[in-house]
Structure 1
Amino acid sequence: MMRPDHSISCWHRSWQLLLFSLLLLAPKLCGGVNMQQFLQSLDMMRNGCVPKFKVPLDILDRIREGDFDMEPTQDLLCYTKCVAQLAGTLTKKGDFSVNKAMAQMPIILPPELQEPAQKALTYCRDEQKAYKDSCAKVYYTSKCMADYDRAHFKFP
């Protein structure tokens, strides 16, 4: 008897988490989410990505608030990519898409964070061009956005 592939199992759990998140948010999709729902979705995305990477929770708590003042490990870089994947902001090739991120903002952000996030992403849209690694592209774009407007920045 063959064992199921662990990577397929993890992928399946990630999609279950994303679908659960969408179902939780579905009643508010037309009018956007409120801050409490947004913070809950951050926790769900974090819980979907944490088991895949060796990143201490104190580091994740720092980046949640926009503190990227550290030398990132490859696990931290790829944790940010995992979050971007759950948020629906990656291309089919696994690269960060500014256009997809802009399109997701009205769905996943509360109204009070949408305009600041759009301004930050517009400012940081070319940040990823300096990196070849897709994990680094997401991490450094996120870092740029946090540096641009830490007061409005939140990350799972």
Structure 2
Amino acid sequence: MKIRLIFCLHLILFTQYGFCAMSEKQMNATKKLVRNTCVTKTKVSPDVVDAMHKGDFSQGQCYLSCILNTYKLILPEGTFDWEGGIKAINANMPPNIAEPACETVKNCKDSMKTKTDKCIGAAEIAKCLYDDNPSNYFLP
């Protein structure tokens, strides 16, 4: 009985502290799933999404709103939950990606100027994330 109890305690401890951030492969699979879901939901062209990864945010703003809402980064009152974003990044991204991503999110915490139009507000956040560190732009 004592051995079972010790085994169970070890199992709980290792399970609780054994999980770490997603691998890059898992992260990319998740991003692909979210991207495909939001492309379908907003009916935006994949070419428009690809243009965003090159800095062109002139179209597809509601796609960005879908992305940020999926990741729960837009609060119900229409503000950017940058603190929640940092927590999610640290919990889910590999350290080599998480560190610069957190710095970028901190730099963009006040980027959402338009709170009356969720699509435009999301585009303001995404553009800031891209402009701050284009090589590490992490939205799908």
TM range (shorter): 0.7 to 0.9
Count of aligned positions = 123
- Structure 1 match to 2:24: 35
Give me the identity figure in percent: 24
1:77 to 33, 43, 61: 61
- Structure 2 match to 1:86: 70
Shift of 1:118: 1.1
Q: In 1, are the aligned partners of 2:78 and 2:115 still within 8 Å (CA)?
A: no
Deviation digits for residues 88-120 of structure 1 (CA, Å, limit 9, x no counterpart): 222134543112211211233222111111111
Deviation digits for residues 1-44 of structure 1 (CA, Å, limit 9, x no counterpart): xxxxxxxxxxxxxxxxxxxxxxxxxxxx9310111111111101
- Structure 2 match to 1:126: 110
Shift of 1:70: 4.6
Q: In 2, are the aligned partners of 1:45 and 1:86 still within 8 Å (CA)?
A: yes
Given the alignment of the two structures, is residue 68 of structure 1 paired with residue 55 of structure 2, yes or no?
Answer: yes
Given the alignment of the two structures, is residue 53 of structure 1 paired with residue 46 of structure 2, yes or no?
Answer: no
| Unaligned residue ranges in structure 1 (runs of 5+) | 1-28
The whole-number CA distance in structure 2 between the counterparts of 1:153 and 1:126 is: 18
Deviation digits for residues 56-83 of structure 1 (CA, Å, limit 9, x no counterpart): 11121232x3x232522xxx11111111
Report the 3-state secondary structure (helix = DSSP H, G, I; strand = E; otherwise coil) of the residue aligned with 2:112: helix
Q: In 2, are the aligned partners of 1:124 and 1:145 still within 8 Å (CA)?
A: yes
**Between 102-111 and 34-43, the greater mean CA deviation after superposition:** 102-111
The whole-number CA distance in structure 1 between the counterparts of 2:55 and 2:116 is: 20
